[in-house]
Amino acid sequence: MKRDLQNTMQQAPTAMEGTKLRLKVCGMKYQDNIESVAALKPDYLGFIFYEKTPRHFDTKIPKISDSIKKTGVFVNAEIGTIVEKVNEFKLDAVQLHGEESPYFCSILRSTSLLSRPIEIIKVFSIKDEFNFEVLEAYDNVCDYYLFDTKGKLPGGNGYKFDWSVLNNYPSTKPFFLSGGIGLDQIEDIKKFKKSKASKYCYAIDVNSKFETEPGLKNISILREFINKLHNKKTMNYNVDENGYYGEFGGAFIPEMLYPNVEELRQNYLKVMAEPDFQKQFDKLLKDYVGRPSPLYFAKRLSEKYNTKIYLKREDLNHTGAHKINNTIGQILMAQRLGKTRIIAETGAGQHGVATATVCALMGMECIVYMGEIDIARQAPNVARMKMLGAKVVPALSGSRTLKDATNEAIRDWINNPVNTHYIIGSAIGPHPYPDMVTRFQAVISEEIKWQLKEQEGRENPDYVVACIGGGSNAAGTYYHYLHEPDVGIIAVEAAGLGIDSGESAATSVLGKEGIIHGCKTLLMQTKDGQITEPYSISAGLDYPGVGPMHAHLSKTGRAEFLSITDSDAMEAGLELSKLEGIIPAIETSHAFAIFKHKTFKPNDVVVMSLSGRGDKDLQNYIDYFKI
């Protein structure tokens, strides 16, 4: 049975004048990179099923927005092969880059073996001239044409053809413009849009000019291109190629640490993009950590505050918090870089437990530095670390809390630079640590998007909320929403005994620009630049700074920062326990205290990062409430 050609032809626009140019990003290869590009909302993503290219796609397409059309690129493939790929990958479009005839296109369109209707894009290569008469035979069997540069390769040659050739374009069929288009061509594109040749230009197709290596796209440069293409004046909230979030970030490190940090900087994105790394990372998150963590609708809490509250249950992960998402990623990274010894710092003990856990799993030596005060108030986690085989070393200097534990870990790293990897637990430290930690934790917001789509019919909540010390759980919760202006971002920090009490960790209010632990950020300090000792009842928020991404979010106003006192946090933790049967970590309790300070609308969807469970804090709760 053949399909009616008239019914299967896609309803493509016939006049492009004055309309927004669509964008296709081609040559996608690595899952993590695909997700990052998809977050920029291109109209098409191209996956090349041609084995002779280094961009050959041979893995799974991760879940991306339905608004993005998945396009399979083929070169002289058999119809059976194309049909197989369309059905397997649920492709929305097929791009034919070889010598496919009009008859071939007709048969492909009409075959009943396709599980879904597809758009057909036929490619033609141009150098200095082109015989447009060949197009007429394709007009009724293709949805679009794509004009690319004629070169040695079927595509991806990396240079542009003479676009003025298209002044003689005789058809009304909309077309894609391709061939060596990069950031430098923005002005050329704007001039082209004003020319006769652009009348039926439907989309821009980009590929090699945005790559750090074949198949791996540079997100920062691609975002800049998209913003300029559509004349958007938007802020970039991700790290740039120099390791900065706006004016915050960088790598301010002693010379002895430079080789270690530089080795990591040069390799972290490449390693994370490797299919074997992704496969092992995803498998461990699923089978060992227990991901995806549930997105739970808190019915009684929602009823009390007259809004729709969802809890992202990171407390149900193995080890009881979000921290293990990052430690698994970093220990796999360390193995690939040839490291045999792991060090870490910890405040509340959750990162220490997560690090000790993965070191036990991988059979690696583990040393965890922890402030003497934190060792006393987080005794259960100290015992867990020791049982897992880790050596817990107390930090005895300064305030004897998280800041000082980090100092000791850095000293260790300086003394053991060759065989040691430092697993930083928060989105802090010299570049690339803040970005690397954020990417490993981004699984949180990645899951929220599809889980919320299942429960609410939409990917974007009205607000995402997380407690924030250094900011790893917050970074992961915010990551896929940073450039979604309709999603409010709320960061909840520790006010301790009160912002003006002298016993606080409210960095957004009390901090100013400074350098701590290898990066420029907002930092609590005296007029002379000496670090002010922070205070919070929660060991995990007891830090004088904040990650550089969060400093940027605060400075630009993208995130709303709220400061919550010890007493409000403790009351919120007790309330959640009694209303929902969930005992949260005291760090997490700070986030839940916002409902007494901020009013939400009845139909607002508010997603809370429940970053950790309260087992470690039971004695603190018992002592505070005299239970």
Per-residue pLDDT tens digits for 232-273: 666 788 899 899 999 999 999 999 899 999 999 999 999 998
Amino acid 627: pLDDT: 87
Assign residue 403 the CATH number of its domain: 3.40.50.1100
Residue 454 has pLDDT above 80, yes or no: yes
Contacts of 370 (CB under 8 A, 6+ apart): 345, 346, 347, 349, 352, 378, 382, 392, 393, 394, 395, 405
C-alpha to C-alpha distance for 531 and 525, rounded to whole angstroms = 4
Residues 410 and 471 in one domain: no
Domain C-terminal end among 370, 400, 435: 435
Q: Both tokens of residue 548? A: 């550089």
Amino acid 195: pLDDT: 87
Assign residue 66 the CATH number of its domain: 3.20.20.70
Q: Is residue 239, in this structure, part of any structural domain at all?
A: no
Q: Is residue 180, in this structure, part of any structural domain at all?
A: yes
Phi and psi angles of residue 355, each rounded to the nearest 5 degrees, phi first: -70, -45
Residues 224 and 253 in one domain: no
C-alpha to C-alpha distance for 311 and 608, rounded to whole angstroms = 5
Residue 4 has pLDDT above 80, yes or no: no
Domains held by the chain: number: 3
Residues 99 and 183 in one domain: yes
CA distances from 543 to 129, 240, 302, 403, 404 (A): 64, 25, 31, 6, 10
Residue 5 has pLDDT above 50, yes or no: no
Residues 99 and 31 in one domain: yes
C-alpha to C-alpha distance for 339 and 322, rounded to whole angstroms = 24
Written in H, E and C, the secondary structure of 26-90 is CCCCCHHHHHHHHCCCCCEEEEECCCCCCCECCCCCCCCCCCCEEEEEECCCCHHHHHHHHHHHC
Amino acid 159: pLDDT: 67
Residues 145 and 217 in one domain: yes
Residue 420 has pLDDT above 70, yes or no: yes
Amino acid 321: pLDDT: 95
What are the tens digits of pLDDT across the range 113-160? 888 899 999 999 998 889 999 999 999 999 999 999 886 666 555 668
Cβ(38)–Cβ(69) below 8 Å: no
Q: Both tokens of residue 554? A: 């605060």
What's the order of all strands across the beta sheet hosting 365-371?
Answer: 391-395, 365-371, 341-346, 420-423
The burial of 361, by beta-carbon neighbours within 10 Å (0-12 exposed, 13-18 middle, 19 or more buried), is given as: middle
Residue 456 has pLDDT above 90, yes or no: yes
Query: pLDDT-derived band of residue 2, with 50, 70 and 90 as boundaries?
Result: very low
The burial of 266, by beta-carbon neighbours within 10 Å (0-12 exposed, 13-18 middle, 19 or more buried), is given as: exposed
Q: Is residue 215, in this structure, part of any structural domain at all?
A: yes
Domain C-terminal end among 405, 435, 465: 435
Q: What is the pTM of this model?
A: 0.73
**Segment (H or E) for 203:** strand 201-206
Which residue is catalytic, options 345, 408, 459, 575? 345
Q: What is the number of H-type helices and E-type strands within the chain?
A: 22, 24
Directed axis angle between helix 31-38 and helix 219-229, to 10°? 20
Amino acid 9: pLDDT: 44
What are the tens digits of pLDDT across the range 549-588? 999 999 999 999 999 999 999 999 999 999 999 999 999 9
Amino acid 157: pLDDT: 55
Q: Is residue 325, in this structure, part of any structural domain at all?
A: yes
Average pLDDT score over the chain: 92
Cβ(362)–Cβ(342) below 8 Å: no
Domain C-terminal end among 374, 402, 435: 435
**Segment (H or E) for 344:** strand 341-346
What are the tens digits of pLDDT across the range 198-233? 889 999 999 989 998 899 998 888 988 998 888 766
Enclosing domain of residue 418: 248-289+319-435
What's the order of all strands across the beta sheet hosting 463-467?
Answer: 295-297, 308-313, 605-610, 463-467, 488-496, 559-565
Q: What is the mean pLDDT of residues 390-396?
A: 96
Pairing type for strands 216-217 and 211-213 reads antiparallel
Residues 400 and 525 in one domain: no
Closest CA to 627 of 594, 578, 566, 591: 578
Residues 146 and 134 in one domain: yes
Residue 522 has pLDDT above 50, yes or no: yes
Neighbours of 557 (CB within 10 A): 9
Q: Is residue 348, in this structure, part of any structural domain at all?
A: yes
What radius of gyration do the chain's Cα atoms show?
Answer: 27
Q: Is 323 a catalytic residue?
A: yes
Q: Is 611 a catalytic residue?
A: yes
Cβ(480)–Cβ(443) below 8 Å: no
The burial of 6, by beta-carbon neighbours within 10 Å (0-12 exposed, 13-18 middle, 19 or more buried), is given as: exposed
Residues 126 and 268 in one domain: no
Return the minimum-mean-pLDDT range out of 51-60, 228-237, 310-319. 228-237
Residues 101 and 212 in one domain: yes
Amino acid 207: pLDDT: 94
**Segment (H or E) for 609:** strand 605-610
Residues 13 and 158 in one domain: yes
Which residue is catalytic, options 323, 339, 449, 616? 323
CA distances from 208 to 35, 124, 159, 401, 472 (A): 18, 18, 9, 48, 32
What are the tens digits of pLDDT across the range 506-519? 999 999 999 999 99
Amino acid 154: pLDDT: 63
Q: What is the mean pLDDT of residues 378-395?
A: 95
Residues 42 and 80 in one domain: yes
Closest CA to 324 of 281, 366, 363, 371: 281
Q: Is 345 a catalytic residue?
A: yes
Residues 526 and 574 in one domain: yes
Q: Is residue 234, in this structure, part of any structural domain at all?
A: no
Q: What is the mean pLDDT of residues 3-25?
A: 56
CA distances from 530 to 368, 400, 507, 514 (A): 26, 16, 15, 10
The secondary structure of residue 559, as a DSSP letter, is E
Amino acid 233: pLDDT: 61
Q: Is residue 252, in this structure, part of any structural domain at all?
A: yes
Which residue is catalytic, options 85, 217, 611, 616? 611
Return the minimum-mean-pLDDT range out of 82-96, 174-188, 307-321, 570-584. 174-188
Q: Is residue 619, in this structure, part of any structural domain at all?
A: yes
